[in-house]
Amino acid sequence: MNVKDLIEGCIHNRKNAQNLLYDIYSSRLYGVCLRFSGDRDEAQDILQESLLKIFKNIHTFKYVDEFLFYGWMYKITVNTALNHYRELIKRNQDKEAVVELSNNNEIDDYSVLDTILEHINQQTLLKLIQELPIGYRTIFNLYAFENRSHKEIAEEFNISINTSKSQLFKARKILISKINDILESNQVKKVV
């Protein structure tokens, strides 16, 4: 079944098309959910909510090619993860969800992601990202993986640009520390 037929089948609520869409795309979308979540159960919840939105709104997608279709589903998944984060803030369940800038003049814009990936595998990096406090994790993901600017992040969450920069700086600092601990235990030279 080609992607256009798959979409058409989902529009008409055909179970075989819905199951096939799930089989083809769920693992990639789950990876996106894992980056934004604190654990596998939370990621699974975000994935299920994303898929429900995808199935509910698939009739609005104008098929051009598979790449754009995946991009459309990816965007829904990221937005669902961000809505999950906003709900946590509203319920005040995570005191570290948004941390204001604390006289930290060490904020910079360097990227260590490439250097990190030279020394540890992606699965280990994903685990370390999941261990970050939710605010740090969300801003790190938006900046490092979604290529959002600090201005865009600040507008998205109604925070200051400096708060976004501060959370990214702190997330990187925690990640580098944990990565260096791993490297040190394996007797590999530290990254930073």
Which of the 8 DSSP states describes residue 58? G
Give pLDDT tens digits for 139-188.
999 998 899 999 999 998 889 999 999 999 999 999 888 888 887 776 66
113-185: in CATH 1.10.10.10 = yes
- For residue 48 the two structure tokens come to 């299920």
Domain residue ranges of the chain, discontinuous segments joined by +: 3-90, 113-185
Q: Measured between alpha carbons, how far is 14 from 7 in angstroms, rounded to an integer?
A: 10
Give the distance from CA 69 to its chain's centroid. Answer: 19
Q: Do domains 3-90 and 113-185 have the same CATH topology?
A: no
Q: Any idea which fold 3-90 has?
A: Rna Polymerase Sigma Factor; Chain: A (1.10.1740)
In this predicted structure, the answer to whether residue 102 has a pLDDT above a threshold of 80 is: no
Give pLDDT tens digits for 18-49.
999 999 999 999 999 999 988 899 999 999 99
Q: What's this model's pTM, rounded to 2 decimal places?
A: 0.70
- What's the pLDDT score for residue 103? 36
